[in-house]
Chain A
Amino acid sequence: MDLSVLLDPFAALQLPLAEWANDSMRWITSNYRPLFQAIKAPVKEFLDFVEDGLRDSPQSLIVIIFSLFAWQIANRAAGIVAFFGLIAIGLIGAWDPAMTSFAVLLTAVCLSVLIGLPLGILCSRVTIVWAILRPILDFMQTIPSFTYLVPVILLFGIGNVPGVIVTVFFATPPLIRLTNLGLREVRQDLVEAADAFGASPFKRLISVELPLARPTIMTGINQTVMLSLVMSVIASMISVAGLGRLVLVGIGQLDLERATIGGVGIVLLAIIFDRTTQGFGFTRRDRGNRGLWEQGPVGWVRAKLNGSKK
């Protein structure tokens, strides 16, 4: 009897982890539900606004606006990619779910940047914050993404808004990491030079450290965008509409048509997003010493206007 306990201890000894999880979740939901609903509200407002805008506007207007936007932010090639990418999405019959996915993605990425960038900056300034946050980020990134879904359903319910929240949870860690890394990797003598000329910590951050860390931070934002796209399929399991749902239904019903439309739509969306967001990484230097508004369509219009004045 005693011997068998020693040999197979786990038959009798068990930590009630499942119970703990259950109890703590029940406690959180019964006490803090209003808080989570309050978090949900502004996200829902923003998401609805973007989604309504995208779905109610004429399709051709959206194609033109987004192509011009990509051209303005990045370059002409990105504009051409956006133009043909959006047309392709429309032609394969994925327009409406793509606009929904677009809205979810845009909302999730905005929220991720809003949370991730300041946290990354804070981590690079205050080492103790980084020491605390680092294991949490490790945990967030190693835990299988499906696991997020259960607590999110319990706290926020199902639908597009919980979908945004679970996406933010999944996609923000790399941005925090890379922002912190980028800022810590800035050449120390360049930081010291800013100090030597009397720059305040804020001035130093804005005009020396952030610009120098920009490539690394942009890699982080790019990662966030790509992970958000990955999450769009997984999040469709908690009833998020859009391209991901097409793929999910396709898997469930072995429906190759829908799975193909959803999958190709996501890839096209990813390409458009990737090319356009790369533009944020360009410096004035990359643009040949031209400001953002001196290039692309706006620059062209401005040049015309100036020309007619003279």
Chain B
Amino acid sequence: MDKDEAFKRFGCVIGVADASFSVNRGEVFCIMGLSGSGKSTIIRHVNRLIEPTDGQIHVEGRDVMSLNAGDLRDLRARKIGMVFQHMALWPHKTIAANVAFGLEVQKRPLEQRKAAADAALTKVGLAGWGARYPDELSGGMQQRVGLARALAADPDILLMDEPFSALDPLIRNDLQDEFLKLSREVKKTTLFITHDLDEAMKMGNRIAIMKDGRIEQTDRPENIVLRPATDYVARFVSSISTLKYISASEIMTAGKTAGDAAEFGPSTPLPVLLQAFSDGASELAIKDGDATLGIIRASDVLDRIKEDLSRV
């Protein structure tokens, strides 16, 4: 049954259905979809901010659906940090109090809360801003605070609900880079929601593409672009250049080199191949060990670039 049929027959909307996935420890897992695709609902199912009507959620082997109210609060306070699209900082609390709220909930002593808030603010580059109030900060700084708040209790899991969508493009780019850097340092298992395909490609180790509450494809970024599983995904990625993701094996043709051509592996990225041609090569041999897989002529590369540019 699809969304329209359910609406006609029962007068309700399917938020999320048949959307199963698992996130590996330390991985950044992006869920990408347009508004109304159910991505914000699905991330709220993980910590049961929205109660699923059916289905299972497991966090480190624990069945989240079976937790009572107290255990669920404990899971939210200790295991999971969340960042929101519109920051959702409490305007009546100082930055430090905002950041330390998770620890306050856990009834940690004041000194510990202060230390954790300072440490988290330092991590996001806002040391010394603790005594200010949220509306004294710019949008980008506010979202850094949002990130610090999520990190303060040192949770294993980060839920990020379109964290950078409300920011200016340049600031968004900076924060993406910083988050990637931070992410490599702190190694948090991250579920990252976005409606921006470029952002998903940049942030995600793996990406799930959602439509109408269902997952269309779950894959590594390059496979999403090069090998879309459905028409919907294909249409989606059609605006993205494949050139960044293709390698020698996608360009080569069968055949043998005439003479003494330079040799490359099948996973060689395009820029390296282009460099070889601009250094004067006329054709390249693609080899896996001793076996010749194929050859690439300059015209093959040019055709491939032309094809990419002429996509819709």
Binding site for B on A (CB under 8 A): 187, 189-190, 192-200, 203, 207-208, 211-212, 214, 283, 285, 289
Q: Given the known A-B contacts A197-B82, A200-B73, are A192 and B105 also in contact in the complex, defined by CB atoms under 8 Å?
A: no
Contacting pair A192 B77 (CB below 8 A): no
Contacting pair A283 B49 (CB below 8 A): no
B204 within 8 A of A: no
A285 to chain B, nearest CB (A): 6
Contact among A198, A208, A289 with B73 in the assembled complex (CB-CB below 8 Å) = A198
Contacting pair B73 A190 (CB below 8 A): no
B104 to chain A, nearest CB (A): 8
Contacting pair B101 A289 (CB below 8 A): no
Inter-chain CA distance A177–B91, complex, in Å, is 24
Contacting pair A195 B49 (CB below 8 A): yes
Contacting pair A208 B90 (CB below 8 A): yes
**Can you report 10 residue pairs joining A to B where beta carbons are below 8 Å apart?**
A192-B49, A193-B84, A196-B47, A197-B105, A198-B74, A199-B73, A207-B101, A214-B92, A289-B94, A289-B131
Contacting pair B82 A285 (CB below 8 A): no
Q: Given the known A-B contacts A190-B88, A192-B88, are A197 and B131 also in contact in the complex, defined by CB atoms under 8 Å?
A: no
| B72-91 contact mask (Cβ, 8 Å, vs A): 1 or 0 | 01111110111010101111
Contact among A196, A203, A208, A285 with B49 in the assembled complex (CB-CB below 8 Å) = A196
B305 to chain A, nearest CB (A): 45
A57 to chain B, nearest CB (A): 37
By size class, the interface of chain B is: 20 to 34
Inter-chain CA distance A199–B104, complex, in Å, is 9
Contact among B78, B105, B153 with A199 in the assembled complex (CB-CB below 8 Å) = B105
Instruction: Tell me the nearest residue of chain B to A192, going by C-beta.
Output: B49
Q: Given the known A-B contacts A193-B90, A285-B92, are A198 and B84 also in contact in the complex, defined by CB atoms under 8 Å?
A: no
Q: Given the known A-B contacts A196-B49, A196-B76, are A190 and B90 also in contact in the complex, defined by CB atoms under 8 Å?
A: yes
B149 cross-chain contacts in A, Cβ below 8 A: 197
Q: Given the known A-B contacts A203-B105, A211-B92, are A285 and B133 also in contact in the complex, defined by CB atoms under 8 Å?
A: yes
Instruction: Tell me the nearest residue of chain A to B75, going by C-beta.
Output: A198
Q: Given the known A-B contacts A189-B84, A189-B88, A289-B131, are A198 and B77 also in contact in the complex, defined by CB atoms under 8 Å?
A: yes
A283 to chain B, nearest CB (A): 6
A195 cross-chain contacts in B, Cβ below 8 A: 49, 76
A203 cross-chain contacts in B, Cβ below 8 A: 105
Contacting pair A197 B92 (CB below 8 A): no
A285 cross-chain contacts in B, Cβ below 8 A: 92, 133
B173 within 8 A of A: no
Contacting pair A198 B92 (CB below 8 A): no
Residues 94-113 (chain B) with a chain A CB within 8 angstroms: 94, 101-102, 104-106
Inter-chain CA distance A200–B82, complex, in Å, is 17
A199 cross-chain contacts in B, Cβ below 8 A: 73, 101, 105
Inter-chain CA distance A187–B89, complex, in Å, is 11
B88 cross-chain contacts in A, Cβ below 8 A: 187, 189-190, 192-193
Residues 45-67 (chain B) with a chain A CB within 8 angstroms: 47, 49
B47 cross-chain contacts in A, Cβ below 8 A: 196
B102 to chain A, nearest CB (A): 4
Q: Given the known A-B contacts A190-B88, A208-B90, A211-B92, are A198 and B82 also in contact in the complex, defined by CB atoms under 8 Å?
A: no
Inter-chain CA distance A192–B84, complex, in Å, is 10
Inter-chain CA distance A214–B90, complex, in Å, is 13
A208 to chain B, nearest CB (A): 6
B29 to chain A, nearest CB (A): 18
Q: Which residue of A193, A196, A199, A289 has the most chain B CB atoms within 10 A of its CB atom?
A: A196
Inter-chain CA distance A192–B146, complex, in Å, is 14
A115 to chain B, nearest CB (A): 26
Q: Given the known A-B contacts A193-B84, A203-B105, are A198 and B76 also in contact in the complex, defined by CB atoms under 8 Å?
A: yes
A211 cross-chain contacts in B, Cβ below 8 A: 90, 92
| B270-308 contact mask (Cβ, 8 Å, vs A): 1 or 0 | 000000000000000000000000000000000000000
Contact among B80, B92, B153 with A283 in the assembled complex (CB-CB below 8 Å) = B92
Q: Given the known A-B contacts A193-B90, A289-B94, A289-B131, are A198 and B49 also in contact in the complex, defined by CB atoms under 8 Å?
A: no
Instruction: Tell me the nearest residue of chain A to B80, going by C-beta.
Output: A196
B77 cross-chain contacts in A, Cβ below 8 A: 197-198
| B19-57 contact mask (Cβ, 8 Å, vs A): 1 or 0 | 000000000000000000000000000010100000000
Inter-chain CA distance A198–B105, complex, in Å, is 7
Inter-chain CA distance A199–B88, complex, in Å, is 15
Q: Which residue of A192, A194, A197, A289 has the most chain B CB atoms within 10 A of its CB atom?
A: A197
Inter-chain CA distance A92–B74, complex, in Å, is 63
Instruction: Tell me the nearest residue of chain B to A203, going by C-beta.
Output: B105
Other A-B contacts than A197-B153, A198-B75, 16 sampled, CB-CB below 8 A, are A189-B86, A190-B90, A192-B84, A192-B88, A193-B89, A193-B90, A194-B101, A196-B159, A197-B76, A197-B105, A207-B93, A208-B90, A212-B92, A214-B92, A285-B133, A289-B94
